[in-house]
Amino acid sequence: MEQDSLERRAREALRRYDMLSPGCVVLAGLSGGADSVALLHWLHGLRRELPFTLLAAHVNHGLRGAESDGDEAFCLALCEALEVPLHVRRIDAAALARERHVGLEEAGRAARYEFFNEIPADRIALAHTLSDRIETMLLNMRRGAALRGLLSIPAVRRQEAGIRRQEAGRETANSAQNPARVPLTPNPLTPNPLTPNPLTSNPLTPNPLTSNPLTSNPLTPNPLTSNPLTPNPLTPNPLAPNPLAPNPLTPNPLTPNPLMPNSLIIRPLIECSRAQVEAYCAAHGLAYRTDSSNFDLSFRRNQIRREVLPPLQLNDGVMRRMFRALEADEAFLQSAARNAQPTAGELPEALQTRLLREQLVLAKREPTQARMAALRQTGARRAVAPARNISVKLEWADWNQHENFTNQGLANRLDCDTIRGSLVIGRRAPGDRMRMVNGAGTKPLKKLFQERGVPPEERGQPVVLRDDAGVVWIEGFGCAHRCRITDKTKKTLRIIIQEG
């Protein structure tokens, strides 16, 4: 094994950030690209010395037609060869981007995380590399990032629990929710992974299920690359300490807490360069897919990757040391912010920012700059509304127009015949609009909240009810004009919010 290889860097990352523990369930994101293929293959081999359950998940974004379907078929074939259960979801990323008023990359990323969060797992392993981290740092610098932005992609990140907006019509195929139910047989919606698709197969790369006499089997050592004089990196040396064993002198700050969500995002390849990933795939005879959009210079990341970084000739070792130094600085500032006394004088801005961010995260709110600025203006260094534990109940009933109701009672009732399609319960989302009863016209929810004087930090709290045509009801505001009770109403829907 080379002195500076993917295997060495990944094992160091596992130990440095204490990413895995025996018996945990690891869900690996699998796109079919070199990074994710190398990660899945390496994790598969790692199970020989550290027992854990390995699953995989693939999202077909539906952006590249037959090429996207080929990626899906490739992932199915690879996971069948490795005997790793695969969860698959198909989405329309372009439609999601339009609906959420975000870019294609952001829409796809959000959909992937939503899918990963639905699959029971203790760890979500993603294949971001040191090269990805450097690119993201430069992207963040362009936007004027501070220390957290320079850190870019963290090696580990705990998933924060929150109310996930459930939306209908997002999938074109069902995803398996129980790993035991995930079949290892081909998906009838995708090409047969046992036979190459002439429209998507790359003739220059081997089929992961087809043995190539010139390349090694990904499930067995490569006799051309294995050195009989050096130990197998996957076989523990009884005379040397286990690099995956946690340090007994330091507690693990990432040990799952029963009061916190159990999904920890880990990135074992975060200190591996893209060149090391490609070398690993070559050494193990691993085929992988190449996304044609990676060559599209209309994407800013591709501009940085292909036009900005090559002339800079950044040293990987220097960049690793820089990120570790930044991590140490950020950890110190976070600790200082947590230990700050709420009755003390005005905190330095660096500590105040981190304190506000942590409080917003604990309150299940996105810690945006605007939200933190609003809290600063009100002097609320720790005054963030707590997360709500609520249940929403819908009651259908015949309408009795002779029954007396208060205005609030009517505000929480809709005319059933005006509801279009399915109802979805969630929170405010970008682009939401509604016309209040007898209002002059539709307004963005942001405008409605501003007119009612709802503080920015509380605007993510009210429950929002939608049908296929848009918002029909907002907690504390009432129903949309088109869904109001009239003398023609026959059946009603009552919305009941219960706290606790």
The whole-number pLDDT of residue 369 equals 75
The whole-number pLDDT of residue 401 equals 64
Which positions of the chain have pLDDT values less than 50? 1, 160-262, 343-345, 380-385
> For residue range 253-279, what is the model confidence (pLDDT) as tens digits?
333 333 233 468 999 999 999 999 999
CB 319 within 8 A of CB 134: yes
End-to-end CA separation in angstroms for the chain: 56
The whole-number pLDDT of residue 403 equals 61
Q: DSSP letter string over 27-73?
A: EEE--SSHHHHHHHHHHHHHTTTS--EEEEEEEE--SSTHHHHHHHH
> For residue range 189-229, what is the model confidence (pLDDT) as tens digits?
333 333 333 333 343 333 443 333 333 333 333 433 333 33
Coil/strand/helix, residue 279: helix
CB 397 within 8 A of CB 491: yes
Give all strands of the β-sheet with 264-266 in edge-to-edge order.
Answer: 86-90, 53-60, 25-29, 123-125, 264-266, 156-158
Domain ranges of the chain: 6-312, 340-386, 390-499
The whole-number pLDDT of residue 347 equals 76
CB 60 within 8 A of CB 89: yes
Instruction: Please report which helix (H) or strand (E) contains residue 319, including its range.
Output: helix 316-338
pTM higher than the cut 0.85: no
Amino acid at 19: M
What the block records as the tokens of 338 is 């947590």
What the block records as the tokens of 227 is 């050195």
The 3-state DSSP composition of the chain as helix, strand, coil percent (nearest 5) reads 35, 15, 50
Amino acid at 387: A
The CATH architecture one would assign to domain 6-312 is 3-Layer(aba) Sandwich (3.40)
DSSP 2: -
